[in-house]
Amino acid sequence: MSATPLHMSPEQLHDYLSRARWFGGKGREFEVKEHRSVPLTESTWIELIEVSYATGDQECFQLPLVAYDWPQDRLAHALIEFVDGQAIYDAVHDREAMAVWLKGFAQQTTSGGLEFHLVGDPELDLSAHSTLFQGEQSNSSVTFGESSQLKVFRKVTPGVNPDVEILEALTTADCPHIAALYGWVSLRDGDDTIHLAILQEFIRTATEGWQVALASVRDLLAEGDLHPDEVGGDFAGEAHRLGMSICEIHLTMRNEMGEWTTDGTSLATSMLARLDSAITAQPLIAEFRDQLSEMFNRLQDIEEPIVTQRIHGDLHLGQTLRDTMAWKVVDFEGEPAKPLAHRQLPDSPWRDVAGMLRSFDYAARAAADDVDPMGNAATQAQYRAAEWRARNQAAFLAGYTEALGRELTPWEDTLLEAYAADKTIYEAVYETRNRPDWLHIPLDALRRISTGQIREQHFDNPG
Ligand X SMILES: Nc1ncnc2c1ncn2[C@@H]1O[C@H](COP(=O)(O)OP(=O)(O)O)[C@@H](O)[C@H]1O
206 binds, among Mg ion, ligand X, none (CB under 5 to 8 A by kind): ligand X
* Least Cβ distance, residue 431 to ligand X (angstroms): 17
Which of 298-306, 330-338, 367-375, 413-421 is the region at the interface with Mg ion (rule: CB under 5 A)?
330-338
Q: Which of 78, 206, 214, 306 binds ligand X (CB under 6 A)?
A: 206
| 110-139 burial: b if 16+ Cβ within 10 Å, else e | eeeebbbbbbeebebeeebebebeeeeeeb
Residue 166 backbone phi and psi in degrees, to 5:
-75, -45
φ and ψ at residue 107, rounded to 5 degrees: -95, 5
Rounded CA-CA distance 295/264 in Å is: 12
Q: Is 209 exposed, middle or buried (0-12, 13-18, 19+ CB in 10 A)?
A: buried
- DSSP, collapsed to helix, strand or coil, labels residue 415 as helix
Contact letters for Mg ion, residues 288-327 (x by CB under 5 A): ----------------------------------------
Q: Which among Mg ion, ligand X, none contacts residue 141 (Cβ within 5 to 8 A by kind)? A: ligand X
When asked if residue 293 is in the footprint of ligand X (CB under 6 A), the reply is: no
Q: Please, what is the minimum distance in Å from the beta carbon of residue 91 to ligand X?
A: 17
Contact partner at residue 86 from ligand X, Mg ion, none, CB < 5 to 8 Å by partner kind? none
- CA-based nearest residue to 59, from 13, 16, 24: 24
CA angle 89, 92, 98 (to 5 degrees): 105
Question: CB count, 10 Å around CB of 98?
Answer: 25
Name the H helices within 405-463. Answer: 410-434, 440-450, 453-458
* Shortest distance, position 140 Cβ to ligand X, whole Å: 7
Q: Is 392 in the site for ligand X (CB under 6 A)?
A: no
Q: How many CB atoms lie within 10 A of CB 303?
A: 8
CA distances from 259 to 86, 190, 256, 328 (A): 53, 31, 9, 23
Residue 179 near which of Mg ion, ligand X, none (CB within 5-8 Å, type-dependent): ligand X
Closer residue to Mg ion, CB minimum distance, 233 or 336: 336
* Closest-approach residue to Mg ion (CB): 331
Share of the chain residues as helix, strand and coil, in percent rounded to the nearest 5: 45, 20, 30
Candidate ranges 4-12, 115-123, 194-202, 246-254; the one touching ligand X (CB under 6 A): 194-202
> What is the rounded distance in angstroms from the CA atom of residue 423 to the CA atom of residue 426?
5
Size, binding site for ligand X by CB under 6 A: 21
Position 208 contacts ligand X (CB under 6 A) = yes
Instruction: Verify binding: residue 248, Mg ion, rule CB under 5 A.
Output: no
Selection from 3, 77, 90, 98 nearest residue 47 by Cα: 90
Single out the segment in contact with ligand X by CB under 6 A; choices: 169-177, 254-262, 295-303, 313-321.
313-321
Binding part of the chain for ligand X, among 56-64, 199-207, 428-436, 455-463 by CB under 6 A, reads: 199-207
Residue closer to Mg ion (CB basis): 47 or 331: 331
Distance (Å, whole) CA 288 – CA 15:
41
Q: How far is the CB of 408 from ligand X (least distance, A)?
A: 28
Please tell me the distance from the alpha carbon of residue 54 to that of residue 50, in angstroms, as a whole number: 13
Residue 133 touches which member of Mg ion, ligand X, none, C-beta under 5-8 Å by kind:
ligand X
330 binds ligand X (CB under 6 A): yes
Candidates 288-296, 316-324, 375-383, 453-461: pick the segment binding ligand X (CB under 6 A): 316-324
Residue 143 is classified by DSSP as E
d(CA 351, CA 412): 11
Residues 152 and 172: their CA atoms lie apart, in Å, by 22
Q: What is the longest distance spanned by two Cα atoms in the chain?
A: 69
List, in sequence order, every residue forming a beta bridge with 189; answer none if it has no partner.
Answer: 192
Give the count of beta carbons closer than 10 Å to the beta carbon of residue 304.
10
Number of residues that bind Mg ion (CB under 5 A): 1
Judged by CB under 5 A, which of 47, 238, 331, 361 binds Mg ion? Answer: 331
Which one of 200, 309, 359, 432 is in contact with ligand X (CB under 6 A)?
200
179 lies in the binding site for ligand X (CB under 6 A): yes
Instruction: Determine the interface stretch with ligand X among 2-10, 102-110, 197-205, 395-403 (rule: CB under 6 A).
Output: 197-205
Q: Among residue numbers 108 through 147, which ones bind ligand X (CB under 6 A)? A: 133, 135, 137-139, 141
Binding residue for ligand X (CB under 6 A) from 5, 122, 318, 462? Answer: 318
- Please state the closest distance from residue 101 (CB atom) to ligand X, in A: 16
User: Which positions from 238 to 277 touch ligand X by CB under 6 A, shown as an x/- string?
Assistant: ----------------------------------------
Residue 163 makes contact with Mg ion by CB under 5 A: no
CA-only gyration radius of the chain, Å:
23
In our burial notation (b when 16+ CB lie closer than 10 A, e otherwise), range 23-35 reads: bbbeeeebebeeb
Q: Give the nearest distance from C-beta 310 to ligand X in angstroms.
A: 17
Which spans of this chain sit near ligand X (rule: CB under 6 A)? 133, 135, 137-139, 141, 149, 151, 179, 200-203, 206, 208, 318-319, 321, 330-331, 333
Which spans of this chain sit near Mg ion (rule: CB under 5 A)? 331
